Amino acid sequence: MIYANYAATSPALSPGVVKELCEYLGGTHLNAARNFEGLEAGAIALRARKALARLFNAADPLQVLFTSGATQSLNMAINGLIRPGDHVLATMVEHNASARPLEALRKNSVIEIGWLQCDSDGSLDAETLRKAIRKNTRLLVMSHASNVLGTLLPAAECCRIAREYGVLSILDTAQTAGVLPVTGGDWGIADVIVFTGHKGLGGLAGIGGFVIGDGASREMRPWASGGTGSASGSLDMPQFMPDKFEPGTQNTIGILSLAVSVEEILRAGVENIRERERSLTARFIAGLGELKKVTRYGPLDPDRRAAPVSVVVQGYDSGEAARQLFETRGIITRSGLHCSPLAHKTAGTYPGGTVRFSFGRETTEEDIDAVLEALSDL
Ligand SMILES: Cc1ncc(COP(=O)(O)O)c(C=O)c1O
């Protein structure tokens, strides 16, 4: 089997994560902040918050909040920050995790949306954003990298422009966290940085979260109310962090997976992880260039992209090409629209879709060459 679907999920936990999870599972499990014995769960959450705060350059670990993943984080941040009558800007390569909550609000006449047009390779000119900002623009929602085309968007520049005009920004790092330095060491640029645990961060599925700046955390309404084990005499949610956004019992095992995995990433160095992934992707893109009947989508320059590479094989429906790659060579890809019809409309591959390849931690150069050979056979 050759796994070429890291953009969807990381297929294996590291041995270090597995070891700590097994030790945890064999022990006793108590609620954080509900009794003295439950201090362990709180300590695990703090350990993960500290590691993630270092990864995203957050000033305070309590600015790191946990959710079930990027989808929940995006829903919470979008719904918690908008007000009726707001204008929201989002890019034309967004994943449905943000496009659908935005569209639902638009259909209910709560907000207006301005979709920021990207080039056919997914690139966005930050000046497009400046021109689109209106008096009632409240929010910018953008991905750090397209999950279809791999294109890196000018996140730091866009968030800076947004801030210049008093527009709040939500940055979706589902495709980049743990693999690329996010916001170039200047985390303060995006008001909310959304992450998911099971892709580049190497944790379990079902854990994710967001990092939120002080201003946005004051403005954002809690997504839900409930017990926090704090300020229990009041029927209102506490206004302090992280309790304001974390009612109920947490996914401690998921949080532990993130703590261990992010600590490993910090030790390895995000720049080194990026360099390895960049060189694998560069090898793949160059090899694709030799195949006359394969069309590559997204930027050809590996410096301008993350791992996902979409292709169309002439004469093949994308689902059929993916099926043959799997059945003949055991290559696991993902075909179709990848939960981002907007990106496919941008690239001109809607509604047929593409076959998406994405390489990661366990991929070798031999794997890349074998995938190229399989494509050549097709
Ligand atoms: C850019 C982007 N945003 C959001 C998501 C949703 O992540 P999750 O399913 O972990 O909530 C994905 C997952 O594919 C993604 O690629």
Q: What is the pLDDT of residues 51-93, one digit of tens each?
A: 999 999 888 999 999 999 999 999 999 999 999 999 999 999 9
371 and 288 housed in the same domain = yes
Query: What band does 34 get if pLDDT is binned at 50, 70 and 90?
Result: low
145 and 274 housed in the same domain = no
Ligand 1 center from residue 172 Cα (angstroms): 8
CB neighbours (10 Å) of residue 337?
Answer: 21
Are β-strands 64-67 and 208-212 bridged in parallel, bridged antiparallel, or unpaired? antiparallel
**Which of 253, 268, 283 is a domain's end point?**
268
Report d(CA 177, CA 190) in Å as an integer. 14
pLDDT at position 185, please?
42
**Which of 268, 300, 325 is a domain's end point?**
268
**Which of 243, 268, 293 is a domain's end point?**
268
Degrees to nearest 5, angle at CA 64 with 111 and 176: 75
Query: Which atom number of ligand 1 is nearest to the Cα of residue 8?
Result: 14
260 and 323 housed in the same domain = no
Report d(CA 1, CA 169) in Å as an integer. 40
Residue 370 has pLDDT above 80, yes or no: yes
**pTM for the structure as a whole:** 0.96
Chain-wide mean pLDDT for the chain? Answer: 94
From 66, 172, 198, 257, the mutation candidate for ligand 1 (largest count of ligand atoms within 8 A of CB) is 172
pLDDT at position 141, please?
98
Residue 70, ligand 1, Cβ within 6 A: yes
Q: What is the pLDDT of residues 168-216, one digit of tens each?
A: 999 999 999 999 987 544 445 799 999 999 999 999 999 999 999 999 9
Query: Which atom number of ligand 1 is nearest to the Cα of residue 70?
Result: 11
pLDDT at position 42, please?
87
pLDDT at position 40, please?
79
Query: What band does 30 get if pLDDT is binned at 50, 70 and 90?
Result: low
Domain that holds residue 371: 2-11+270-377
155 and 47 housed in the same domain = yes
333 and 256 housed in the same domain = no
Residue 21, ligand 1, Cβ within 6 A: no
**SS3 label, residue 130:** helix
The string of DSSP codes covering 166-178 is T-EEEEE-TTTTT
From 196, 199, 210, 340, the mutation candidate for ligand 1 (largest count of ligand atoms within 8 A of CB) is 196
Residue listed under structure tokens 């989808």: 71
Residue 5, ligand 1, Cβ within 6 A: no
Contacts by residues 11-14 (CB-CB < 8 Å, ≥ 24 positions apart): 11/362, 12/362, 13/202, 13/203, 13/204, 13/257, 13/261, 14/202, 14/260, 14/261, 14/264
Instruction: CATH number of the domain at 215, please.
Output: 3.40.640.10
Report d(CA 109, CA 136) in Å as an integer. 15
Residue 174, ligand 1, Cβ within 6 A: yes
Q: What backbone torsions phi and psi does residue 62 show, to the nearest 5 degrees?
A: -75, 0
146 and 117 housed in the same domain = yes
Query: Beta partners for 100?
Result: none
100 and 215 housed in the same domain = yes
| Percent residues over pLDDT 70 in the chain | 96
In this structure, which residue's CA is closest to atom 16 in ligand 1?
147
Number of separate domains in the chain: 2
Q: Which residues fall within 8 angstroms of residue 153, CB to CB, at 6 or more apart?
A: 91, 93, 118, 122, 123, 124, 142, 143, 144, 145, 146
